[in-house]
Amino acid sequence: MKRYIVILRGINVSGKNKLPMADLRDMLNELGFQNVQTYIQSGNIILDSKDTKEIVCQKIKEAIAAKFGYDIPVLARTPEVWKSTLENYPFSQENEKIVAFTFLDKVTKESVIEVKGINEDEYKIVDDIVYLYCPSGFGKTKLTNSVIEKKLKVTATTRNLKTTLKLLELATS
């Protein structure tokens, strides 16, 4: 069995794609995943599986579509990769409210994207992650999932520092 941190995009956001975590956990258990945990209401999952991360993502995506009718992007990482992502954050982590990680569904060769009006916000693209440092605040930044997806031709979902740290803690405890 391998442990995975699985993140869903667009669950329980602004009243859209409502998916109760208890129902999600039940569905994941029915799929045969082990030690299923969820964290907060935005589609953060810890689970164990004998499958590869690609198969885990495919099974969850198909099951959510069949059971709830949502076409939701699903990404997964091992705790080791997750930890490395945190350790490689290139900006200050002093103010956790302006630190985030945008996880991509595939590695990109791009290192720069053209985004107007990012002001003092910064980003760094490394393989399948975009590190974000947004002093303007996440409500105002132009470095959104949608912009990153369009510019890099990927699927993306972002987690703040607090959530990213908590998911690692849950996955390794």
pLDDT in tens, 47-88: 999 999 999 999 999 999 999 999 999 999 999 999 999 999
> What does the pLDDT read at residue 16?
73
What pLDDT is attached to residue 14? 64
pLDDT at 15: 65
Checking if the pLDDT of 32 tops 80, the result is yes
- Tally DSSP H helices, then E strands, for the chain: 5, 8
φ and ψ at residue 31, rounded to 5 degrees: -75, -5
44-49 and 99-104 as β-strands: parallel, antiparallel, unpaired? unpaired
Centroid of chain to Cα 42: 10
Q: What is the DSSP letter of 13?
A: B
- If phi > 0 it is left, if psi is from -120 to 50 it is alpha, else beta; for residue 25 that is alpha
pTM of the model: 0.93
